[in-house]
């Protein structure tokens, strides 16, 4: 028995030592030394990943889940709603607010409890109110994740507690997590309220009966760590380790950092050093450049040659000017490093055969950085040219015949005039 106990003790100590040792991850390109197993720095305005370390590896996300819980709530419910607490919501483990079965709360108060103190019971009470059940609310979360563009995210719980459902587990990737935060602060119709709630320093409230009072304090240390800090959410479970997603806006740039598996106890500060390092990297290395500063290929705006068109002569080659029409999804510019270049690709037909209609697409100009296209401009015709047909040919033949006869008549009249003058 003692032998087995010794083996078990040694195993536990080994695991503890592994968890307590910092694991540095070095990216040669950026020369950054990070603790996080998975890390992404994203330009929130474009969604472009500026730094990626295992950014597509699916990992547990802990309470960073709650940014999705909040945005789904804001987009689907009224913050003045009354929330009825169920026994299931009240049974959630710490960290919890301590709500009780049968109590009632204002929804906005619970969202502040959710984001400032990361209370697990508040998350479930919110989910049951908005979705009807935790399962239905998770479906709303997964639907929103797909709309945002997440590829490897699966929500089971609204609070981020570890959970498994069939062959899926509650998880995301650093890239997807950064996408969700980017959506919350730049694209959601409720982005202003999202920022207001997540930036609130503290909040005091009571249940609707007024018999119990609560006080919440914002534990997002990043808000006071760097000028321009916008928002963020921490998280921790035994499976996920310390996680964080945060946003910063400065000098016309908006960055999001997402960190997963960024250390285990007792290393709560690893996420802050990683976040600062990535934010400073983005601020120092990336500058905004407009695509219209790049010179276009000369042939891009050359007239298009049109054959078989109705011109002044049979068999004449016609020229038709082109114009540029920008795609609605195109970016005017992009945050780029000094060593990055914009690659312009021109695809354009050299000639057309009539009929040609006004606005007919004849090619496009593509702007790419790295391996991704960021802007596309369509090239279209500015006018129309009808095709040669039988009626046009007959008109041309008749016109030429009549013109030729008129010339012969004029020549005869001229000869007669000369003769008369000579006589």
**Is residue 2 over pLDDT 50?**
no
More confident residue, 108 or 6: 108
Confidence of residue 327 (pLDDT cuts 50, 70, 90): low
Is pLDDT of 140 > 60? yes
Instruction: Pick 13 or 174 by higher pLDDT.
Output: 174
Q: What is the pLDDT of residue 321?
A: 87
Cα–Cα distance for residue pair 287/247, rounded to 1 Å: 17
* pLDDT attached to residue 316: 77
pLDDT band at 397 (very low <50, low <70, confident <90, very high): confident
| 24, pLDDT greater than 70 | no
Mean pLDDT rounded to a whole number for the chain: 88
The confidence score (pLDDT) of residue 325 equals 82
| Predicted confidence band of residue 136 (pLDDT cuts 50, 70, 90) | very high
pLDDT in tens, 32-51: 999 999 999 999 999 999 99
Residue 268: its pLDDT value, please?
93
Provide the CB-side half-sphere exposure for 379 (13 A, CA).
22
* Rounded distance between C-alpha atoms, residue 410 and residue 423, angstroms: 20
Question: Is residue 255's pLDDT more than 70?
Answer: yes
DSSP annotation of 172 reads B
Contact, 160 vs 63, CB < 8 A? yes
Compute φ and ψ for 112, nearest 5 degrees: -70, -40
How far is 129 from 123, CA to CA, in rounded Å? 10
In terms of residues, how long is the chain? 423
User: CA-to-CA distance for 148 and 169, rounded, in angstroms?
Assistant: 20
Share of the chain above pLDDT 70, in %: 86
Largest distance between two CA atoms of the chain: 147
pLDDT in tens, 402-422: 655 555 444 554 555 444 445
- Specify the residue for token string 């009780």: 100
What pLDDT does residue 398 have? Answer: 75
User: Could you report the per-residue pLDDT of 267-316, keeping only the tens digit for each?
Assistant: 999 999 999 999 999 999 999 999 988 888 888 888 888 888 877 676 77
Residue 87 has pLDDT above 90, yes or no: yes
């Amino acid at each position: 028995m003692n032998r087995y106990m010794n083996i078990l003790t040694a195993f536990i100590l080994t695991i503890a030592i592994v968890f307590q040792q910092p694991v540095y991850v070095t990216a040669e390109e950026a020369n950054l030394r990070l603790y996080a197993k998975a890390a992404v720095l994203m330009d929130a305005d474009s969604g472009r990943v500026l730094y990626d370390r295992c950014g597509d590896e699916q990992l547990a996300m802990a309470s960073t889940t709650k940014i999705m819980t909040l945005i789904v709530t804001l987009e689907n419910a009224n913050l003045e709603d009354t929330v009825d607490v169920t026994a299931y919501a009240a049974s959630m483990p710490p960290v919890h607010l301590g709500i009780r079965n049968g109590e009632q709360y204002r929804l906005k108060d619970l969202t502040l409890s959710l984001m400032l103190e990361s209370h697990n019971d508040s998350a479930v009470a919110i989910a049951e109110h908005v979705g009807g059940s935790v399962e239905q609310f998770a479906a709303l979360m997964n639907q929103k994740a797909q709309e945002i563009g997440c590829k490897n995210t699966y929500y089971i719980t609204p609070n981020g507690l570890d959970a498994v459902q069939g062959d899926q587990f509650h998880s995301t990737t650093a890239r997807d997590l950064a996408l969700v935060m980017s959506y919350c602060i730049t694209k959601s119709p409720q982005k202003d309220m999202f920022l207001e709630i997540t930036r609130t320093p503290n909040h005091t409230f009571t249940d609707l009966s007024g018999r119990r009072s609560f006080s919440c304090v914002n534990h997002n240390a990043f808000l006071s760590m760097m000028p321009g800090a916008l928002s963020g959410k921490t998280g921790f479970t035994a499976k996920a380790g310390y996680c964080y997603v945060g946003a910063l806006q400065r000098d016309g740039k908006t960055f999001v950092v997402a960190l997963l598996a960024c250390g285990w106890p007792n290393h709560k500060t690893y996420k802050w050093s990683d976040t600062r390092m990535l934010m400073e990297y983005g601020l120092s290395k990336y500058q905004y450049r407009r695509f219209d500063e790049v010179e276009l290929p000369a042939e891009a705006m050359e007239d298009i040659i049109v054959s078989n068109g109705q011109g002044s002569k049979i068999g004449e080659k016609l020229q038709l000017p082109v114009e540029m029409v920008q795609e609605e999804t195109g970016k005017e510019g992009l945050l780029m490093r000094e060593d990055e270049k914009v690659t312009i690709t021109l695809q354009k037909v050299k000639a057309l055969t009539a009929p040609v209609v006004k606005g007919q697409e004849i090619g496009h100009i593509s702007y790419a950085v790295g391996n991704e296209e960021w802007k596309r401009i369509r090239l279209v015709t500015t006018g129309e040219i009808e095709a040669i047909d039988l009626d046009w040919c007959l008109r041309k033949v008749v016109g030429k015949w009549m013109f030729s006869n008129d010339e012969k008549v004029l020549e005869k009249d001229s000869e007669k005039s000369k003769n008369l003058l000579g006589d």
